Each structure stands twice: as structure tokens, then as C-alpha cells.
Amino acid sequence: MCVVPANPDISGIGVRIAIYLQNLLGFIPAIWAIWDWKVTDHELESAETQSTTNLVLAFAILISCIVQAFTLGLTSYHATVVLSLSWMNNTNAFIYFLLYVYYKSQGPEPQVAPQWSAWIKHVKDQTKALLTFPISVIASSQVTAVDPQAGRKDGKGGIRVLFRRFALLLGSLHLTVMAALGIWLWSSPRSFGIADASCAVDAAQLTILGARVPFNSNALRVISLVIYSAFLLPGLNLLLPMSAFLGLYIWHHARWVNASGAESLRYYYVADSRSPRSDVPPSNGLARILRRLSVWAFYLSSTLSSSWT
């Protein structure tokens, strides 16, 4: 009989429910923000703050898991639970990115056109600005000596730009740490963590999309190593998920234009009002997509869990 020591700090029902609710509730402000076809500065900043807070807590879970694996020891069963929760926690960065895309491409004259070429150019420009950020900080400090008001304005703008990138930066680092733990686990599941609990590899199963897969499946091990290796490098690990969400938005935008006509996109806002013109039919298609993503995020996280035979 295989006996795995309990670890309620990781696999406890209270911990998992708290993480489920935290991530599911994160979809509510996002759906509310795009429900009226407009994402304001305040809503985007709120999404940044929410994503950053949730990702910091997600980091705490990952770091405590790694520290425990090196010190007290951790079973492979509990490591898979942490990895499953980490996949759900990463949705916070993706929600922020989707709102950022919507914010940049909204209106009849968007800052960034909802096209692949326009967004590739925008990402290149933002990356270049991020790499030259230290130089801009030095330049703003020199300007402060000449014009204090201009220096404070430039410094505030630089801090805001850095913070808006911090949510994605934190999400990328979280993916890297998660991938490192995943590679460590799946490189040798039997030798991972506590040796006395190595029997969990033979006794446990993973439920993936409703299908039961043995923990000791070699195919599962190879696929897991490939997936986690793809998300190991920071920065580059955002390309695949961000491309998927950007493609989702571009597809949704093109599909709506083709269905309603280009003239339907000419929605305007009266002064600073949150209500669009009454002659333009509102569309909450992207909000429906977000709701579906929230259901799938909960379903995937709840099914990617270990069970005993």
C-alpha cells in the first residue's frame, strides 16, 4: 500500500478553493470592462494591479514548493498539484494582455490597428523602449536639475511605463519558475522529492480533459517535458500564449466586421460618457469569450489533478 504524507498547505481543499475563487473572480472586472465596448485607463490600471497581486501570490506558492522540495522534501503528487494551480494562476497575465490589446485597438481610430503587422511593430517598439528605459531614467534625472517640473513629469511617465510592463514581466518570470519545476519533476518523477513516497508514481493517475492517464506514462512524461521546455526562457515564453490571445482578438474583430460591415465599427462616445451611441448595436462577443475562458480555466485546473487508483 502506497502512503503519501499529507500536505494541507498545498493540496488542502481550502487552499485550492481560495485559488479557484481568486482566479475566477479575476474575470469579472475584465468582462465588466469590455461589456460597453470601451476599456478606460482606470480599468486597465485596475487590471494591472489585480494581475500583479495575484501573480505575487502565485510566486509565493511556487517558491514555497521549491524550498520545501530542497529542505523537508516534497512528493511528486503535491508537485503536480502546484503545477496545475500555477497554470491557472498564469491566466492573470493573459487577462491583462487581452484587455491591453482591446485598449490599444478600440475606437474608429485605434492606437494600434487590429492587424498582425501593426501589433508586431508595436511589440518591437515597446521592447526597444523597455531596453532603453535605464537611459531614459538617467536623462530624466538630468532634466530635473534644469526643470524640476518637467523632470517629475518624465519620471512619473517612466515609472508608469515600467509598471504597465511589470504585470507581463512578472507573468513571464512565473512561467519560467513553473517550467523549471515542471522539468525538474518530469525529468525523473521517481527520484523527485521524498524517496519513501516514490510509489505515488505507480499508484496515481492524472485526469486530463476527462481522460485518466497513468502517472508513470512515458508519453505523458515526454509531452510534459516538451511543454515545460517551451515555457522556460523568460520573455520568449510569452510569445505562444500572447500570440494565441492576439489571434483570438484579431479573429473576433475581423469576424464582427465581416458580419456587420465596416460602418458598424464607427461607435462613438459622447464626451466622457461610458454609453455608446444608441444607433449602434452593442456587441459583447469578446465578453462571452472571456466567460468561456474562465470556465475552461476552472475546468482545466480542476481536471489536471492527481487521483488514486
Q: Do you know the residue count of the chain?
A: 309
Position 121 in a domain:
no
**The total number of structural domains that make up the chain:** 1
- Cβ neighbours for 217, distance < 8 A, ≥ 6 positions apart: none
Position 132 in a domain:
no
Position 2 in a domain:
no
Position 107 in a domain:
yes
Position 253 in a domain:
yes
Position 261 in a domain:
yes
Q: What is the DSSP string of 170-233?
A: HHHHHHHHHHHHHHHHHH-GGGSS-GGGTTHHHHEEEEETTEEEETT-HHHHHHHHHHHHHT-S
pLDDT tens string, the chain, 309 residues long: the values are 667 777 887 778 888 888 888 888 888 888 888 777 788 888 888 888 888 888 888 888 899 888 888 888 888 888 888 998 898 888 888 888 888 888 888 766 678 888 888 888 888 887 777 667 555 545 555 544 444 454 444 444 444 445 556 788 888 999 999 999 999 999 988 888 765 666 777 777 887 777 888 888 899 999 999 999 999 998 889 888 888 888 888 887 777 655 554 444 444 444 344 444 444 444 455 555 565 555 555 555 554 444 444
pTM of the predicted model as reported, rounded to 2 decimal places: 0.75
Query: Among the residues of 35-132, which ranges form H helices?
Result: 41-70, 76-89, 91-105, 116-131
Position 109 in a domain:
yes
**Number of neighbouring beta carbons within 10 Å of residue 228:** 22
- What gap in Å lies between CA 167 and CA 197, rounded to an integer? 37
- What gap in Å lies between CA 105 and CA 258, rounded to an integer? 17
- Cβ distance 69 to 220 under 8 Å? no
Q: What domain range is 191 assigned to?
A: 8-115+167-308
Position 134 in a domain:
no
- Cβ neighbours for 137, distance < 8 A, ≥ 6 positions apart: 155, 158
